[in-house]
Structure 1
């Protein structure tokens, strides 16, 4: 029986555009496929029950798609009013069926993610537990590596300075972008960072899907000498067979999965053997509920886990994964929240605050371009 106080009474949706201090470029920009990124669009969902319990969730979109996520969320929000906030899995299915005609992946489920994450946050807050503890944590901290300092718009001197600053802050590893039209420039960049860091600091590279199979094989062999933790997205995100061939041929692990937008797509990647290290993104696959399903599948196959972006969410999910994972450090989202995550000795610490441990900042209100409230 549903406790009347657990019924969802109100939902507030906000469309927020977070400006980036510097236009950001990876290989997709240098190869002409995309423009530099100047902002990130967020959809925030704030859910309140009749008993006054609250939860905060969000999804995001880079470059295009933010207005579409917000529009679909506005269609779905009334479906949750009066529902029991405890029934998270059932509510995910209800929202998925409400938007079934636009599919079970991509934008259709990314809008659901904001609600789903808010419901998990609400449940953990009501229990007085950090989300990781509610899910069943394996650890109180997670290895972390920095990505935001290694983009291709930054000259190599700046990348080296950024890497040193990350290590001084307590971050455990460094990832840099590759995938430039001139592969010799990529190799020179990797060599410079490895020499700068020394052999003991974990180093990763990310090609952002820019190589074809022959180029990926050649670069993979050339990169072996640098002792990389992984090579990320060397091929098109949906080329599972190509990723599997690389994973079998190279000593360096292959990491991919961030661009997949459903459990089904991740299941196909795992079935093909296309990843040594899986990189799912909870907001992209539809929230925490589907993320837990694919994480269980990944753990069953003894895959390493390194969730993509959104460390504010993924820290908790990585802490609840059975095998020792990584979490990706981006400081981009920090202005949106009042709280900061603590990093020490190469690891990101799970906060002791209930839920995700996040509250929206006043600055986030200033970047809100539209909002809508449903219910009381």
Structure 2
């Protein structure tokens, strides 16, 4: 071996712990999928934590999640995969991702199978950044130290408009830049009235987005996009089914208001087709697509097409990824995960700021441990 190899800090994975945590929500959450009868109100989020330890005494924390159904399935698949991590060099993240994917290849390369892998993948990236003594964004190569942020959690359809207006004001007072509210009500006039009321309340200068959660057909989407064009929206999100790539492209090519989608896609291949067909703003979700490794591939595809990026949910992870995107992105603010971590992200001046803490910069709280419904540990 030469001197460079002799001095390299090699390491091995010696222990893996996975935990299934049921995060309760203060009130039942309803978007357009509830009002159209396709789903019931959401009362909890199933969170999958992965904690990976190494022979050198380092630890990485990873996270995935499922809304409504799927949490027990993610945990079960992660439990099956966990033994494959032992003995691996934690720096070989792409190699490990492939190993885990092939271990469960018979259940596919998207959906629940890769969402279980995501928790391990995020933990490995957290660990790698900690080894370097850097925030994850700096390890990846940050373009900025803060990212524009907007709030979604105050704009659900179950909330009366008075509450939505109050929550919008509270968010702006906290230093959040933009407001997103849910649309897709069976009565289109309700959507128009709610968006008009919010625009009048916050003023023309505040960035305002709307999200139909896939509940419009193509004719309705065209009518609604035309009606909302004068409102100066930053984007209209998921006006159509998530897999109607051509329909979204047609809307993007027809109307002035940008069209955004992508959060429900669960693979790089699906995002590649969305980007190829045509969209204005891509909204990948790292836990849903298999973790940071796969998210970075989607970022590269979006950058090549000069697209805007607005990652979905899990701001604790996505603030780092968005900071590493060449074009100015957006990050979605939800306070739902706050009880799971001991740290808080700083928000000021309309932006979410990176901390100087290494890795993701978060540690799992005692409250999260108390909400744990299942756990599994292997190794030392």
TM-score bin (small chain): over 0.9
- Describe the SS at the equivalent of 1:321: coil
CA offsets per residue over residues 55-109 of structure 1, 9 Å max, x none? 0001000000000000000000000100000000110011011110000000010
1:189 to 2:194 alignment? yes
Moved over 2 A (4+): 1-5
1:372 to 2:376 alignment? yes
* Aligned mates of 1:297, 1:30 — CA distance in 2: 35
In the alignment, which residue of structure 2 is the partner of 1:75?
80
Displacement of 1:5 after TM fit? 5.7
* Aligned mates of 1:5, 1:210 — CA distance in 2: 50
Select 2:98's aligned residue among 93, 98, 103: 93
Select 1:324's aligned residue among 314, 324, 328: 328
1:311 to 2:315 alignment? yes
- Describe the SS at the equivalent of 1:85: coil
* Aligned mates of 2:10, 2:225 — CA distance in 1: 56
- Describe the SS at the equivalent of 1:90: helix
Specify every segment of 5 or more residues in structure 1 that has no aligned partner in the other structure, as ranges. Answer: none
In the alignment, which residue of structure 1 is the partner of 2:228?
223
For normalisation by structure 2, the TM-score amounts to 0.98
Select 2:295's aligned residue among 271, 274, 291: 291
CA offsets per residue over residues 239-286 of structure 1, 9 Å max, x none? 00000000000000000000000000000001111x200000000000
- Describe the SS at the equivalent of 1:142: strand
1:11 to 2:12 alignment? no
* Aligned mates of 1:365, 1:307 — CA distance in 2: 27
- Describe the SS at the equivalent of 1:176: strand
State how many pairs are aligned. 375
For normalisation by structure 1, the TM-score amounts to 0.99
In the alignment, which residue of structure 2 is the partner of 1:162?
167
Displacement of 1:195 after TM fit? 0.3
In the alignment, which residue of structure 2 is the partner of 1:356?
360
- Describe the SS at the equivalent of 2:223: helix
Specify every segment of 5 or more residues in structure 2 that has no aligned partner in the other structure, as ranges. Answer: none
* Aligned mates of 2:142, 2:59 — CA distance in 1: 22
Residues 4, 80 of structure 1: alpha-carbon distance in 2 compared, 3 angstrom cutoff: farther
In the alignment, which residue of structure 2 is the partner of 1:133?
138
Residues 82, 4 of structure 1: alpha-carbon distance in 2 compared, 3 angstrom cutoff: farther
CA offsets per residue over residues 31-55 of structure 1, 9 Å max, x none? 1000000000011000000010110
1:339 to 2:362 alignment? no
- Describe the SS at the equivalent of 2:325: coil
* Aligned mates of 1:6, 1:209 — CA distance in 2: 45
* Aligned mates of 1:77, 1:300 — CA distance in 2: 35
Contact 1:5 1:49 in 2 (8 A): no
* Aligned mates of 1:255, 1:60 — CA distance in 2: 22
In the alignment, which residue of structure 2 is the partner of 1:42?
47
In the alignment, which residue of structure 2 is the partner of 1:278?
282
CA offsets per residue over residues 275-325 of structure 1, 9 Å max, x none? 200000000000000000010010000000000000000000000000000
Contact 1:148 1:331 in 2 (8 A): yes
In the alignment, which residue of structure 1 is the partner of 2:270?
265
In the alignment, which residue of structure 1 is the partner of 2:32?
27
Displacement of 1:215 after TM fit? 0.1
* Aligned mates of 1:200, 1:216 — CA distance in 2: 25
Displacement of 1:126 after TM fit? 1.1
* Aligned mates of 1:366, 1:375 — CA distance in 2: 23
* Aligned mates of 2:80, 2:239 — CA distance in 1: 37
Contact 1:5 1:50 in 2 (8 A): no
